[in-house]
Amino acid sequence: MLALIVVLAVAGLALATQVGVLVIQRAFTPRGRVIEVSGARLHVVELGPRDAAGPPVVMLHGASSNLRTMQPLGDRVAKTRRVILIDRPGHGWSTRERAADSTPAIQGRMIAEALSRLGIDRAIVVAHSWAGALALRIALDHPDRVAGLVLLAPVAYPWRGGAGRYNDVISTPLIGPLLAHTITLPLGYLVTTSGVRGVFAPQPMPSDFVRDSETLLLLRPREFIANARDLVTLKAAVVEQAPRYAEIKVPVTIIAGDVDKTVSTGIHSRPLAATAPNTKLIALPGVGHMVQYAAPDLVASEIEAMADRLVQPAATADKTVPANL
């Protein structure tokens, strides 16, 4: 009898998850087009004038999100620049053939191929959080594709601890997919807003962020598994690539909050600024992880400044620049 109750409960949760997926996908439909690359189908949204001066600006989102988290910044920059927003492989409306294709090296190859298919030779890559490691890897492995980097609270180096017990479990064969297809969506729906507030802290979360960023797409089983895999494999990936950062010759601007509790500026941004040879670090006092929301004008102006320098190269700035909001 108990076994029957368990089976019925699991079946009910699985059915509820499938219904939830349909509801979420009807609420948050694709907004761009799909680019076919080896091992993935990438959802891309293009903004701004295609004939704008200077290199296009490619924006890459971090973990537990999709391209919509970068769209408010993209809309600002698109007033004068061509902007390409990309759902990373396995996130948003992008797919990937293998959940194991989780590392910056593999995703970087996919992004570079997509840029080629879009006819983009070189771009300024703007990347937040997890995607900081991805942007760095693209600059290392595909330097001909990168004109400059603007890194927002980037992950760059290994950190103490792991990626969270639940991500470890979800990445485990059999038990991970079972959980993802049963309890993740209903449980995640209950805790999403409080979790996102923690990422924004100490700044307040915009009232409509969860809706506008389409964060609930993350709760779909295939995306939740891909996200967990990205997080679990990231530490080993940055251990492998970090010794190469001195090879990056393009201009790099890093913008990070000095009270970021999600990606420590002291562990990641400051060592990177001391290593990559043409780097400017802007440390924002009293700012947490979501710097593009805390200081959107500053971030947009730094992207514009880099684009202008690349059109008319100027002397590089000091290594570290204090900033006041």
- Residue 10: pLDDT over 80: no
Judge whether 60 and 128 are in contact, CB under 8 Å.
yes
Mean of the pLDDT values across residues 135-139? 98
Give dist(CA 105, CA 108) in Å, integer: 5
CA distances from 202 to 209, 291, 296 (A): 16, 11, 16
Mean of the pLDDT values across residues 127-148? 98
**pLDDT band with cut points at 50, 70 and 90 for residue 316:** very low
Q: State residue 59's pLDDT score.
A: 98
By CB atoms closer than 10 A (0-12, 13-18, 19+), residue 77 is buried
- Residue 67: pLDDT over 80: yes
Q: State residue 195's pLDDT score.
A: 95
Q: What angle do CA 79, 113, 271 make, to 5 degrees?
A: 75
Decide which of 123 and 311 is more confident.
123
Judge whether 234 lies within some domain.
yes
**pLDDT band with cut points at 50, 70 and 90 for residue 313:** low
Which of 150-154, 159-163, 317-321 has the lowest average pLDDT? Answer: 317-321
Judge whether 322 lies within some domain.
no
**pLDDT band with cut points at 50, 70 and 90 for residue 5:** confident
Mean of the pLDDT values across residues 226-254? 98
- Residue 35: pLDDT over 90: yes
Judge whether 197 lies within some domain.
yes
In single-letter form, the type of residue at position 241 comes to Q
**pLDDT band with cut points at 50, 70 and 90 for residue 323:** very low
Q: How many domains does the chain contain in total?
A: 1
Q: State residue 12's pLDDT score.
A: 86
In single-letter form, the type of residue at position 22 comes to L
In single-letter form, the type of residue at position 27 comes to A
Q: State residue 292's pLDDT score.
A: 98
**pLDDT band with cut points at 50, 70 and 90 for residue 8:** confident
Judge whether 30 lies within some domain.
yes
Domain span at 242: 2-314
For residue 182, the domain's CATH number is 3.40.50.1820
Q: State residue 312's pLDDT score.
A: 72
Judge whether 86 lies within some domain.
yes
Judge whether 104 and 137 are in contact, CB under 8 Å.
yes
Give dist(CA 71, CA 49) in Å, integer: 16
- Nearest Cα neighbor of 292 from 130, 127, 136, 139 is 127
Judge whether 73 and 126 are in contact, CB under 8 Å.
yes
Judge whether 176 lies within some domain.
yes
Q: Are strands 33-37 and 123-128 parallel, antiparallel or unpaired?
A: unpaired
Q: State residue 11's pLDDT score.
A: 82
Mean of the pLDDT values across residues 98-107? 94
Residues with Cβ < 8 Å from 183, sequence gap 6 or more? 13
Q: State residue 7's pLDDT score.
A: 66
Percent pLDDT > 70 in the chain is 95
pLDDT tens string 138-153: 999 999 999 999 999 9
Judge whether 9 lies within some domain.
yes
**pLDDT band with cut points at 50, 70 and 90 for residue 6:** low
Judge whether 319 lies within some domain.
no
